[in-house]
Structure 1
Amino acid sequence: MKAVRGTAAALLALLVVTGCSATPSDDKKPSAASASVRPSPVATLSGATDAAWVQLMTPMNEGAVELLTMAAERSTDPRLRSWAKDLAAGHRTELDRMRALLKELGLPSTNVHEGHEMPGMVTPGDLTQARAADGAAFEKVFVIQIREHLEQSAHVSRSEVDAGSEAAARKLAAALVEARRGELAGLERITA
C-alpha cells in the first residue's frame, strides 16, 4: 500500500514540478466552458490521481495524433507510414474514451496543460520541427518524439493502474499500458 501511495505521489509531483495544475493561474480567467463544469467529488480528493492522469493523457494523445497523422502522410518508409496510420487510429479511439472519462469525472475538456512542456508531450514546437524536416530527417524527428510519447504515456498509465481509485480510469490505463508495449515493439521492428 505504501508503494501505491508513493506512485500516486510521484504522478502528482510530476504535474506540480512541471507547473501543471487543474486550476487556472491568477492571470488567466477560466473559459465559459470550463467555468460551467464543476468537478465531481470523485475528481476533487479521492480521485486526484485519476483526474491528473486523464488530464495529462488527453493532451498527450492529441499531440501524438497530430504527429502520427503527419508521419502517415509524409514518411518515405512504407512500413513506418502504415504503422503511424494504424497508431493514429488507435490513439483517436483512446481519445474518445479519455474525453468520455473527463466528462464522467466532471472535469473540464480544456487542456489544463496548455503551454507546458513535459516528457512524452508532443508540443507545438515539436510539430513545427517535424514540419520543417523532410525525408530521413523527418523520420528521425518523428521516431524520437513518438518513442518518447509511447514510453512516457505507458509510465504515467502504470502509475494510474497502481494508484487510481476510479475503475473506469484504471481499466483504460491498463489497456493503454498493454497497447504501448505492442506499439513500442512494432516501432523497434521497423527501426531496427
Structure 2
Amino acid sequence: MTVRRLAPLLLLLAPLLLLLALLSSCAGEGGTGTVPLSGPASGSSAPSAGPTDSAWVQLMIPMDDSAVALLDLAAERATRTGLRSWASRLREDLATELAGLRALRDGMRLPDTDVHQGHDMPGMVTATDLEAAGSTRGEAFDRLLVARIRDHLRQSERVSRSETSEGEAPEARALARTLVADRGEQLADLAGL
C-alpha cells in the first residue's frame, strides 16, 4: 500500500492511537485496567470501565482544567467584548463539563491526581502558555487565547470522538457524545467571532 493511500487511514486512526499511547505511557501511573463504575455511595454492581474510558477521563480533566485557567485570564485581558463574552460562556460550559467528568472519575474509583502533569500533549494549555498569557495584553493576548482554546476544543473533540466508539462504559460514552456535540457548537461560535 502506498503512503498516499495510508495517509487518510492514519488520520482516521490518529485519535485512537493517541488514546492508546496515553494509556500505555500512563500504565504505571494508575490509569489502566478495568474498573467499576459504581459511585462511592452505591453498593450495586455497575458496568465496568475499560482502559479507554479511564484514559479519556484522566486526559479530559487536566485538559479542561488548564483551558479554564486560560479562560479565567480572558475575563480581564481579552480586548474584544465579543471574545470576552464568548470566553466567559465557554468557561461556564467547561466548569459544568468538569463536574460531570469528576463524577465519572469518582464512579470509576480513579485517583483524583493529574496523571498527565508535565505532559505537553496536543490540545493541552501548558504552564508555558499560561505564563505567556499572564504577561501578554491587547491583541496579542486575544490571538494567544483564540489559538490555544481552538487547539483545546479540536483535540478534546478528537479524543472524545474516540471514546464514543472505543469506550466500554455507557456513562463515559454518553458524556463523550455530549462533549463532541458541544465542541462542534463551541468551534462554530469561535469561528464567528
TM over 0.5: yes
Work out whether residues 20 and 112 of structure 1, in 8 Å CA contact, stay in contact via their aligned partners in 2: no
What is the alpha-carbon distance in structure 2 between the residues aligned to residue 109 and residue 46 of structure 1?
A: 16
What do residues 28-81 of structure 1 show as CA deviations (whole Å, max 9, x unaligned)?
A: xxxxxx8xxxx76348x9610000000000000000001111112211100000
Is 1:12–2:19 an aligned residue pair?
yes
Determine helix, strand or coil for the equivalent of 2:168: coil
Determine helix, strand or coil for the equivalent of 1:112: coil
Work out whether residues 68 and 84 of structure 1, in 8 Å CA contact, stay in contact via their aligned partners in 2: yes
Is 1:23–2:28 an aligned residue pair?
yes
Judged with a 3 Å threshold, the aligned counterparts in structure 2 of structure 1 residues 22 and 95 are, in CA distance, closer, same or farther, namely farther
Is 1:98–2:101 an aligned residue pair?
yes
Q: Residue 173 of structure 2 aligns with which residue?
A: 170
Structure 2 segments unaligned to the other structure (5+ residues): 1-12, 38-47
What is the alpha-carbon distance in structure 2 between the residues aligned to residue 8 and residue 154 of structure 1?
A: 9
Work out whether residues 49 and 108 of structure 2, in 8 Å CA contact, stay in contact via their aligned partners in 1: no
Residue 120 of structure 1: which of 119, 123, 126 is its match? 123
What is the alpha-carbon distance in structure 1 between the residues aligned to residue 15 and residue 134 of structure 2?
A: 36
Structure 1 segments unaligned to the other structure (5+ residues): 1-5, 25-33
Q: CA deviation at 1:183?
A: 0.3
The alignment's TM-score, normalised by the length of structure 2, stands at 0.81
Judged with a 3 Å threshold, the aligned counterparts in structure 2 of structure 1 residues 8 and 64 are, in CA distance, closer, same or farther, namely closer
What do residues 94-123 of structure 1 show as CA deviations (whole Å, max 9, x unaligned)?
A: 000111111101100100000000000111
Determine helix, strand or coil for the equivalent of 1:23: helix
Determine helix, strand or coil for the equivalent of 1:108: coil
Aligned length: 170
The alignment's TM-score, normalised by the length of structure 1, stands at 0.82
Work out whether residues 164 and 177 of structure 2, in 8 Å CA contact, stay in contact via their aligned partners in 1: yes
What is the alpha-carbon distance in structure 2 between the residues aligned to residue 159 and residue 133 of structure 1?
A: 35
Q: Residue 29 of structure 1 aligns with which residue?
A: none
CA RMSD of superposed structures (Å)? 2.3
Q: CA deviation at 1:11?
A: 3.7
- Runs of 4+ in structure 1 off by over 6 angstroms are none
What is the alpha-carbon distance in structure 2 between the residues aligned to residue 61 and residue 178 of structure 1?
A: 16
Q: CA deviation at 1:22?
A: 4.9
Residue 51 of structure 1: which of 49, 54, 60 is its match? 54
Judged with a 3 Å threshold, the aligned counterparts in structure 2 of structure 1 residues 40 and 49 are, in CA distance, closer, same or farther, namely closer
Work out whether residues 72 and 84 of structure 1, in 8 Å CA contact, stay in contact via their aligned partners in 2: yes
Work out whether residues 57 and 153 of structure 1, in 8 Å CA contact, stay in contact via their aligned partners in 2: yes
Work out whether residues 20 and 52 of structure 2, in 8 Å CA contact, stay in contact via their aligned partners in 1: no
Query: Within 5 Å, which residues of 2 pair with 1:76-87?
Result: 76-87=79-90
What is the alpha-carbon distance in structure 1 between the residues aligned to residue 161 and residue 128 of structure 2?
A: 27
Is 1:143–2:146 an aligned residue pair?
yes
